[in-house]
Amino acid sequence: MEEKVSKTPDINRAIALQMKQSKKIKISGLKSHDAIAVGIDAEIELTVEGEAGDYFGALNSGAIVKLNGNGGRFVGDSMTGGGIIVTGFIGGGAGDYMKGGIIVVKGNVKGACGRMMAGGVIIVDGNVGDNVGLNMCGGDIIVIGDAAGAIGNYMTGGRIYIGGEHASLGLNTTITDLDMQDVNLLDTYFNHYGISSHSTIFKKIVPTSATPFSDELENVDDSHKGDRL
Amino acid sequence: MKIPDHIVDEVRQRSLTSNPRMATFAHQERHPNLDEITIMPTQLNGPRARDFHTEVIATDLVIGEGRCSKPLSLDFPIMFGGMSIWDLTQNARMALIKASSGLFIPFNAGAGGLRVPERNAIKEMDAPIIHQWTPARLGMDADALRESSAVEIQLGRGMVTSLGSPIYKGSMDLELTEHLGLPPAVDGYRPPRHLDIESPKDLKKVITLIREITSYDIPIIVKIGTANVYGDIRYCVKAGADAVVLDTSEAGGYKYPQAIGNGIGLTSLAAITPAVQAFTDTNAKGDNVKLIISGGVITGVDAFKLLALGADGVAIGRGLCLALNSDEVEDGIPQGVFYGTDDKTLDVDFSAQNVINYVRSMATELAHVTAMTGNSSLETVTKDCLRAVTYNAAAVTGLKLAGYERNLLMWEH
């Protein structure tokens, strides 16, 4: 079924309408519209041609959404499941607050990604900006290219894999060697998403402590620990 | 001269632990506050007094009228303030849900969303619910947005506006940690601001995102603390909020650093005038945007004062907490209400009824005072029926000073 619409609410309404009839949907001609394909819980496959604005695929929980083009900021924000694949570059904030699912970006991310992330996977087949994985407590971020500064700042969980250079580490982060589980994980993703890289060049960044804030409480009198939440 | 005990205690705590004293409930003696203004009833020289017992006094509040397809209609302009899932015990939250159903005031889930039993209870009772979109987004997903009667974007809160804080490992039970989507045995974090909101334009985009997910059905409320009140409220209105909740320095407070909470922000009385001015300058009232003030409201008289000063509604929190278990209050803290305390003795039905009684008493009082000032509707109430009884209150509000019966000269412009 073909329908011509031009505004964000109309586009999302058309997607919702088509979801009732098919599990494979395609839309084209997107022109930087914000908040397209948001909050989809159905297990559909949605292909989008054009340039997306901000919050593309935000709060996705079930759909596999492919964007053939570039995207704006906050792609996949707060998503809990499903997948988003972007063939071009996107703005910062991809996968912020993410709790599940997977985001694959074939180009660069112009800024941070995976901040406050608690679960899921972000793969960037390009470079990323500052503060990747800021305050993340779970999930995996895989950057094939270079990362700017403060990577993983105050992360308390999860893993960040970097294939290229990184400008500086964030606080509470440590670089470790990859083990076999890491190698298998990366190779599986690379094969599945057609990424031409090799796991042997990667380094892994993990939290130095999973409880950096609680550690600060160690010196506090027991009678006052309950005062902190 | 003897150094006051609270100063000795503050210094002792800091010297022993390198941490400040924590407190629950906002400091209630900050000035200027609502006790510094008084309501002037009508008599001979003014409109005739209305008879509360025989006439209808309109106190309803509608949020989102003409702006979304399912506006929020309340019989009286009193809302529940948002209290986080890690602030209150399960029984306390269940009692508030039950009370909200009885009063048809939305239960504000606060940060962290709803536990499964809470969600089931709300569905079973068909109770209205407000979900909060917070800087940490814990417990938030598209389903939560869609089940909401309204969504509240929390930019700031009460007297700890813009204060980020860790979630310490073990400070929540495993069930709650799992519900929030946090991995076990790690520290979490609540950032001081939304990572995606750095400008009014960004706020507008977030509002669009939530409207898209909720199909433009429900009102979007933006909650802010008292920082640049005039400027912030202008931004909220321009960004498309259906209502703005101004959470003042008299609002909120569960285990907050006392010195910070007591030393920042503005009281409701000090904040409302620039808030109303921002509404006027953006034609917010004409566009049906509502102003809700939270902080320092315990009685219907308190609520009336804020409404006469230009608010459309009030939100309450401290009164609700006390009403839940007013029989057992130790050091000013109701027992079994706050997370981490034993709530076994908190009877859900009994506590819910207490809250219903408490809020109804406020609503009745509000109608009473409205009638006493010669108004048959809150919509016609103006600040002409108020007087400041202190110089400071007259200075921050522009109200006539009692006795002087004029505005202070600084307001004559």
The residue of B9, B14, B17 whose CB has the most chain A CBs within 10 angstroms, and thus the best one to mutate to test that interface, is B17
A91-97 long-range contacts, CB within 8 A, separation 24+: A91/A54, A92/A129, A93/B195, A93/B196, A94/A122, A94/A124, A95/A120, A95/A122, A95/A141, A96/B195, A96/B196, A97/B136, A97/B137, A97/B140, A97/B195
**Is residue B2 in a domain?**
no
The residue of B24, B83, B196 whose CB has the most chain A CBs within 10 angstroms, and thus the best one to mutate to test that interface, is B196
Beta-carbon pairs below 8 A across chains A and B: 135
Q: What is the pLDDT of residue B6?
A: 84
**Is residue A224 in a domain?**
no
- Rounded to the nearest angstrom, the minimum Cα separation between B235 and chain A is 20
Q: Are B291 and B268 in contact (CB under 8 A)?
A: no
Residues with Cβ within 8 Å of B333's Cβ and at least 6 positions away in sequence, in order, are B24, B25
Please state, as a whole number, how many other Cβ atoms lie within 10 Å of the Cβ of residue A87.
Answer: 16
Please state, as a whole number, how many other Cβ atoms lie within 10 Å of the Cβ of residue B197.
Answer: 17
**Is residue A227 in a domain?**
no
**Is residue A159 in a domain?**
yes
**Is residue B392 in a domain?**
no
Q: What are phi and psi of B74, to 5 degrees?
A: -120, 145
Domain count, chain B: 1
**Is residue A121 in a domain?**
yes
Domain housing A56: 8-212
**Is residue B397 in a domain?**
no
Q: What is the pLDDT of residue A4?
A: 77
Q: What is the pLDDT of residue B181?
A: 87
Minimal Cβ distance to A229: which of B86, B141, B186: B86
Residues of A in contact with B141 (CB under 8 A): 59, 61, 78, 80, 99
**Is residue A226 in a domain?**
no
Q: Report d(CA B162, CA B140) in Å as an integer.
A: 20
Residues of B in contact with A228 (CB under 8 A): 19, 22, 168, 171, 255
CB within 8 Å: A210 and B209: no
**Is residue B334 in a domain?**
yes
Residues with Cβ within 8 Å of B279's Cβ and at least 6 positions away in sequence, in order, are B233, B237, B285, B289, B291, B310
B279-325 pLDDT per residue, tens: 999 999 999 999 999 999 999 999 999 999 999 999 999 999 999 99
A30-63 pLDDT per residue, tens: 999 999 999 999 999 999 999 999 999 999 999 9
Mean pLDDT for all residues in chain B: 94
Residues with Cβ within 8 Å of A109's Cβ and at least 6 positions away in sequence, in order, are A89, A90, A91, A92, A94, A124, A126, A127, A128, A129
Q: What is the pLDDT of residue B380?
A: 97
CB within 8 Å: A116 and B189: yes
**Is residue B410 in a domain?**
no
Q: What is the mean pLDDT of residues B177-194?
A: 90
Provide the b/e sequence for A23-62 (b: ≥16 CB within 10 Å). Answer: eebebeebeebbbbbbbbbeebebebebbbbbbbbbbbbb
**Is residue A100 in a domain?**
yes
Kindly tell me the burial class for residue B347, based on how many C-beta atoms sit within 10 Å of its own C-beta (0-12, 13-18, 19 or more).
middle
- Rounded to the nearest angstrom, the minimum Cα separation between B311 and chain A is 32
Kindly state the percentage of chain B with pLDDT values over 70: 100
Token pair recorded at residue A91: 């703005």
What CATH number corresponds to the domain at position A207?
2.160.20.60
Token pair recorded at residue B80: 């529940």
Question: In chain B, which residue's Cα lies nearest the Cα of A224?
Answer: B17
**pLDDT tens per residue across all 229 residues of chain A:** 567 778 999 999 999 999 999 999 999 999 999 999 999 999 999 999 999 999 999 999 999 999 999 999 999 999 999 999 999 999 999 999 999 999 999 999 999 999 999 999 999 999 999 999 999 999 999 999 999 999 999 999 999 999 999 999 999 999 999 999 999 999 999 999 999 999 999 999 999 999 999 887 765 544 444 444 4
Q: What is the pLDDT of residue A226?
A: 45
Minimal Cβ distance to B168: which of A39, A214, A224: A214
Q: What is the pLDDT of residue A2?
A: 67
**Is residue B240 in a domain?**
yes
Domain housing B183: 23-29+49-381
Q: What is the mean pLDDT of residues B150-162?
A: 87
B325-362 pLDDT per residue, tens: 999 988 888 999 999 889 988 999 999 999 999 999 99
Q: Report d(CA A37, CA A41) in Å as an integer.
A: 10
> Which one, of A134, A135, A132, lies nearest residue A163 by Cα?
A132
**Is residue B142 in a domain?**
yes
- For chain A, where are the E strands, in sequence order? 24-33, 45-52, 64-68, 83-86, 90-91, 102-105, 109-110, 121-124, 137-143, 157-162, 173-176, 203-207
**Is residue B181 in a domain?**
yes
**Is residue A53 in a domain?**
yes
Q: Report d(CA B306, CA B402) in Å as an integer.
A: 18
Q: What is the pLDDT of residue A224?
A: 45
Q: What's the pTM value of the predicted model, to 2 decimals?
A: 0.95
Q: Which residues of B touch A (CB under 8 A)?
A: 13, 16-19, 22, 86, 136-137, 140-143, 145-146, 165-171, 181-183, 185-189, 191, 195-196, 205, 208-209, 212-213, 216, 254-255, 339-340
**Given CA atoms A53, A59, A63, A64 in this order, what sign does their dihedral have?**
positive
Q: Are B188 and A137 in contact (CB under 8 A)?
A: yes
**Is residue A81 in a domain?**
yes
Interface membership of A210 toward B (CB under 8 Å): yes
Strand partners, B61: B74
B33-75 pLDDT per residue, tens: 999 999 999 999 989 999 989 999 999 999 999 999 999 999 9
What CATH number corresponds to the domain at position B296?
3.20.20.70
Q: Answer yes or no: is pLDDT of B26 > 80.
A: no
Domain count, chain A: 1
